[in-house]
Structure 1
Amino acid sequence: MESCWRWFGPKDLVPLQHARQAGAIGIVTALHEISYKRSWTPAEIEARKALVEASGLRWSVCESIPVPSAIKLGGAGARAAIDVWKDSLANLARSGIKTVCYNFMPVVDWTRTDLRFEMPTTALALRFDMVEFIAYDVFVLSRKGAELDYAPELVQRAEQRLKGLDDEAILRLENNIIAGLPGGEDSYGRDAIRSAISLFDGMTAGDLQANLDAFLKEVVPVAAELGARLAIHPDDPPISLFGLPRVVSQASDLRRILGSVDHPANGLTLCVGSLGSRADNDVLAIAREFAARINFAHLRDVAIEADGSFVEASHLEGRSDMHAILSLLLGEEARRRGAGREDHQIPMRPDHGHLIADDIDKPTNPGYSLIGRLKGLGELHGVIHAIGKAGL
């Protein structure tokens, strides 16, 4: 597998040379500073590519070209937004960046309630607490009808939890949920997120699926023509948030998405942690079913709780069998090599490492500190090496 590292550009707090020292070969990045309202030019892409290559690395994966709300909403604004997306995709592919990860989550991207949750080891982890999210949605944001989206017992627990939070803690919770995490499309204040949610009033899962299908019918042919591979990222967490539909959450969703435009260019990012944070998802079974369409992998894991809460586990210690998943991915690579595919290697990266050692006291992007990801990548390399030695 191709060992990669997410990097957020020249302003990233972890420099490229540290990614190389950690054992990465490829870089996963995007032109985050450019508005989604216009396409990325060849000159801009080549400049970023040259910056990566000057550090002895290669730009392996684009994560992500943002998919703006106009596309998810459909309607009059979708046409122009899709054309912008197609232009950026084509320019990336012509510059040799052939793997493009993207997501289709409405309004909020990946979401956590706590960015510094203390683990038994004293490491700090990212956590999604269902009760605290409900407390925010129902009693702070006061979204109309929000209480009907949750079990009454959870709403009662949320109300009690909120009573134990002071104003500073409530503001911190709000910022964690809506102010935007690294790589997300937008950052919101309270009034802004109410407005953004309202744009989707009345939208069903079927409506959002139809808009995703329309998007795929436009972009997959462009990728296919240029030899690029798309890799849709699962919803994180894979449940409805703020009453909004999410349609990339379980095996049935992936089956429909990959079948809507049935071409190898229409593929999947296997995010073990995102899929694994839903109790009824068997990530190994999902990986086995869709192995031929896995174009990118996020190798992290989670520990889940009965109420839907979860915390980022160490890379090898969550609910999924990472050894079995890596064995399957390596087997898929072997199958692709046997078929003569030049793109047989599956790029992967560690994700959402714990805050450990002196990173705890440094400014970091949540989930993207140096030492926790270095530890995760080292663990993954160890498993891959052991599988290779065993001849599996």
Structure 2
Amino acid sequence: MRHTWRWFGPVDRVSVQDADQAGAHGIVSALHHIPTGDVWPSDEITKRQEQVRVGGLEWEVVESVPVSESIKTQTGPWREHISNWQETLRRLSAAGIRTVCYNFMPVLDWTRTDLRWTARHGAKAMRFDRIDFVAFDLHLLQRAGAAEDYDAETREQAQRRFREMTDERKLGLSRNIGAGLPGSSDGYSLPQLREHLQSYAGIDREKLQRHLIDFLTEVTPVAEQVGINIGAHPDDPPWALLGLPRILSSAEDYAHMLREVDSPANGVTFCTGSLGARAANDLPAMVRQFAPRIHFVHLRNVRREEPETPCSFFEDEHLEGDTDMVAVIAELLTEEKRRRAAGRADHQIPMRPDHGQEILDDLTRSAQPGYPAIGRLKGLAELRGIERALSHATYGLS
């Protein structure tokens, strides 16, 4: 696989040189300062490429070109935003970039109740606490109709939890849940979040699926023309939140998307952490099912704290947690071998060690939550070790 590393630009406290020293082959980045819906200026793309090259690597994957709420709801300037998305693909292709990640999660991107929860050995990790989230929904956000989404026992637990919360915890919980895309300056206050939720009134799961297919029907032909693979990132966590539908949470969801827009350019960003939070998802089987259409991979592990879905979970170490990472990597290497035999130009699948626990010097660096230097270096080293062992001639995956 092609080992890449997410970098949030010059504001990132983990440098490109750090990524190079950690063993990354290339950089994953985005122009977070460009407003969602706008065309990415060519000079800004070039500027980011030059910033990456100074650190000794190349910008190889875009994560993400954001999909606007207007596109998801098909309101306001949504057609203009699709046109701008298409033009951004053309400009990225002209700059030599061939892989673009995006997501179609309504309003909230990845959602956590804790960004620096203390793990068993003092490391800091991101965590989703199911009861804290329900307490936020019922008692802080006070979403209309929220009580109907939870059973009596869950509502009672959330009420007790809320009564125990300090004002500082309430403020932190609202800030964590209302955060925008990683690396962006977006984020929602409680009134803003209520307003955005209202914009999805009347949009159920089936309608949002149609909007995704409409979007892909427009942008995939452009991706094909300019030689870019686009990969849809799964929902994180992979279940409905705040009454909002989620449509990329399971094998069935991805099969529907790939079937409806059946193009090699239309594919999957396979995130083991996001999909792994849903107990019913068999990740090695999903890699086998979607292997030809996997364009980008995020390798991370989560530990589910409850057997049901939805559940509480936290970001575990890369080789711990509930996902069999060895089996997943073996399936990915098998697909790479098949692609090489078929002569595919994209036989090498870009991956990155996603998230990571803050350990050692990370604890004083104050980097982007979930993206520490040493925690990711440790994860990449472990993942690379599995890949190297499985690729040995003895095992036949090389």
Instruction: State if a TM-score over 0.5 links the two structures.
Output: yes
Equivalent positions of 1:1-392 (< 5 A) are 1-180=1-180, 182-183=182-183, 186-306=186-306, 308-389=311-392, 390-391=394-395, 392=397
Q: Distance in 2 between matches of 1:287 and 1:163?
A: 43
Q: Distance in 1 between matches of 2:105 and 2:37?
A: 18
Q: Could you list the per-position Cα deviations for residues 317-372 of structure 1 after superposition, in whole angstroms to 9, with x for gaps in the alignment?
A: 11111111111111111111111112111000011110111211232210011010
Q: Distance in 1 between matches of 2:271 and 2:345?
A: 23
Deviation at 1:282, TM superposition (A): 1.1
Q: Distance in 1 between matches of 2:345 and 2:365?
A: 41
Q: Is the 8 A contact 1:118 1:124 kept in 2?
A: yes
Deviation at 1:60, TM superposition (A): 1.1
Residues 231 and 181 of structure 1, relative CA distance in 2, 3 Å threshold? closer
Q: Distance in 1 between matches of 2:72 and 2:278?
A: 23
* Aligned partner of residue 125 in structure 1, secondary structure: strand
TM-score normalised to the size of structure 2? 0.96
Q: Distance in 2 between matches of 1:181 and 1:123?
A: 24
* Aligned partner of residue 357 in structure 1, secondary structure: coil
Structure 2 letter corresponding to 1:349: R
Deviation at 1:199, TM superposition (A): 0.6
Q: Distance in 2 between matches of 1:253 and 1:350?
A: 24
Can you give the 5+ residue segments of structure 1 that lack an aligned partner in the other structure? Answer: none
Q: Is the 8 A contact 1:42 1:91 kept in 2?
A: yes
Q: Distance in 2 between matches of 1:179 and 1:333?
A: 36
Identical pairs, percent: 50
Q: Could you list the per-position Cα deviations for residues 113-172 of structure 1 after superposition, in whole angstroms to 9, with x for gaps in the alignment?
A: 011211112211100011000000011110001011122211111111111111111111
Deviation at 1:38, TM superposition (A): 1.6
Deviation at 1:181, TM superposition (A): 5.3
Q: Is the 8 A contact 2:183 2:368 kept in 1?
A: no
- Report the count of equivalent residues: 392
Deviation at 1:373, TM superposition (A): 0.4
* Aligned partner of residue 371 in structure 2, secondary structure: coil
Q: Distance in 2 between matches of 1:299 and 1:316?
A: 10
Q: Distance in 2 between matches of 1:76 and 1:10?
A: 33
Q: Could you list the per-position Cα deviations for residues 220-252 of structure 1 after superposition, in whole angstroms to 9, with x for gaps in the alignment?
A: 000111111000000000111110011011111
Q: Distance in 2 between matches of 1:251 and 1:185?
A: 32
Deviation at 1:20, TM superposition (A): 0.3
Q: Distance in 1 between matches of 2:50 and 2:115?
A: 33
* Aligned partner of residue 19 in structure 2, secondary structure: helix
Q: Is the 8 A contact 1:234 1:271 kept in 2?
A: yes
Deviation at 1:305, TM superposition (A): 2.3
Q: Distance in 2 between matches of 1:179 and 1:279?
A: 26
Q: Could you list the per-position Cα deviations for residues 27-46 of structure 1 after superposition, in whole angstroms to 9, with x for gaps in the alignment?
A: 00011111123201222212
Q: Is the 8 A contact 2:71 2:81 kept in 1?
A: yes
Q: Distance in 1 between matches of 2:208 and 2:219?
A: 17
Structure 2 letter corresponding to 1:330: L
Structure 2 letter corresponding to 1:140: L
Deviation at 1:185, TM superposition (A): 8.0
Q: Could you list the per-position Cα deviations for residues 289-331 of structure 1 after superposition, in whole angstroms to 9, with x for gaps in the alignment?
A: 0011100000001011225111111001111111111111111
Q: How much is the aligned-residue C-alpha RMSD, in angstroms? A: 1.2
Structure 2 letter corresponding to 1:88: T
Deviation at 1:62, TM superposition (A): 0.2
Q: Is the 8 A contact 1:304 1:310 kept in 2?
A: yes
Deviating beyond 6 angstroms after TM superposition, the runs of 4 or more aligned structure 1 residues are none
Q: Distance in 2 between matches of 1:140 and 1:76?
A: 29
Deviation at 1:77, TM superposition (A): 2.4
Q: Is the 8 A contact 1:179 1:189 kept in 2?
A: no
